[in-house]
Amino acid sequence: MRQLLLVAPILIPLAAASLTALLWSRPAAQRAVGLVAAIALFIATLVLLAEVIAGGMVVGQMGNWPAPFGITMVVDHLSAAMLAITGLMGLAVAVYAMGPGAQERDRAGFQPLFHALLMGVAGAFSTGDLFNLYVWFEVMLIASFGLLVLDRTREQLDGGLRYVMLNLVGTTFFLLAVGLIYGLTGTLNLADLARVAPGVENQGALAAVAVLLLVSFGAKAAVFPLFNWLPASYHTASMPVAAIFAALLTKVGVYAIIRVFTLVFAHDHALFGPILAGIAIATMVVGVLGAAAHYDVRRILSFHIISQIGYMLIGVALMTPLAIAGSVLYIVHHIVVKANLFLVAGAIRQVGGSFALARLGGLWVSAPLLGILFLIPALSLAGIPPLSGFWGKFVVIRASLEAEAWLLAFVALAVGLLTLYSMIKIWNEAFWKAAPDVAPRAEWTRAERVATFAPIVALCAVTLMIGLWTEPFAAFSLAAAEALLDREAYIAAVLGPNPVRLAEAAP
Partner 1 sequence: MEILLSLSIGVLVAAAAYLLLARDLPRALLGFVLLGTAANLSIFAAGRIGTMVPPLVDQGARALATEAANPLPQALVLTAIVIGFGLAAFTLVLIRSAHGALGTVSADEMHEAERPDETPASVAAAPGAGVPSHRREAA
Q: Which residues lie near partner 1 (CB under 8 A)? A: 131, 134-135, 138, 141-142, 145-146, 149, 152-162, 164-165, 168-169, 172, 175-176, 178-180, 182-184, 231-233, 235-236, 294-296, 299, 353-354, 356-359, 429, 437-438, 440, 505-506
Between residues 120 and 389, which has the closer beta carbon with respect to partner 1? Answer: 120
Between residues 295 and 410, which has the closer beta carbon with respect to partner 1? Answer: 295
Q: Of 307, 220, 303, which is closest to residue 257 (Cα–Cα)?
A: 220
Between residues 164 and 409, which has the closer beta carbon with respect to partner 1? Answer: 164
Q: Of 245, 415, 466, which is closest to residue 345 (Cα–Cα)?
A: 245
Between residues 199 and 497, which has the closer beta carbon with respect to partner 1? Answer: 199
Between residues 179 and 472, which has the closer beta carbon with respect to partner 1? Answer: 179
Q: Of 372, 377, 333, which is closest to residue 470 (Cα–Cα)?
A: 333
Least Å from the CB of residue 233 to partner 1: 7
Residue 179: partners with Cβ closer than 8 Å, 6 or more residues away: none
Least Å from the CB of residue 57 to partner 1: 26
Between residues 234 and 476, which has the closer beta carbon with respect to partner 1? Answer: 234
Least Å from the CB of residue 169 to partner 1: 6
User: What is the amino acid identity at position 295?
Assistant: Y
Least Å from the CB of residue 296 to partner 1: 5
Between residues 43 and 505, which has the closer beta carbon with respect to partner 1? Answer: 505
Residue 175: partners with Cβ closer than 8 Å, 6 or more residues away: 134
Between residues 372 and 428, which has the closer beta carbon with respect to partner 1? Answer: 428
Least Å from the CB of residue 131 to partner 1: 6
Our CA dihedral for 288, 292, 295, 297, rounded to 10 degrees, sits at 30
Paired sense of beta strands 58-61 and 72-75, if any: antiparallel
Least Å from the CB of residue 158 to partner 1: 4
**Cα–Cα distance, 264 to 198 (Å, whole number):** 8
| C-alpha of 289 from chain center | 21
Least Å from the CB of residue 181 to partner 1: 8
- Report the residue count for the chain: 507
Query: Do the Cβ atoms of 307 and 286 come closer than 8 Å?
Result: yes
Between residues 294 and 487, which has the closer beta carbon with respect to partner 1? Answer: 294
What is the chain's percent helix, strand, coil content, to nearest 5?
80, 5, 20
Between residues 349 and 487, which has the closer beta carbon with respect to partner 1? Answer: 349
Strands (E) across 235-278 are located at none
Number of other CB atoms surrounding residue 220 within 10 Å: 28
Least Å from the CB of residue 90 to partner 1: 23
Q: Of 221, 203, 304, which is closest to residue 259 (Cα–Cα)?
A: 221
State phi, psi for 250 to the nearest 5 degrees: -65, -30
- For helices 446-468 and 368-382, the axis angle rounded to 10 degrees is 40
Whether omega before 225 lies within 30 degrees of 0, making that bond cis, reads yes
Least Å from the CB of residue 185 to partner 1: 10
**CB neighbour class for 225 (10 Å; exposed up to 12, middle 13-18, buried from 19):** exposed
CA angle 297, 88, 252 (to 5 degrees): 70
Least Å from the CB of residue 436 to partner 1: 8
Between residues 458 and 505, which has the closer beta carbon with respect to partner 1? Answer: 505
Our CA dihedral for 405, 406, 407, 412, rounded to 10 degrees, sits at 90
Least Å from the CB of residue 159 to partner 1: 4
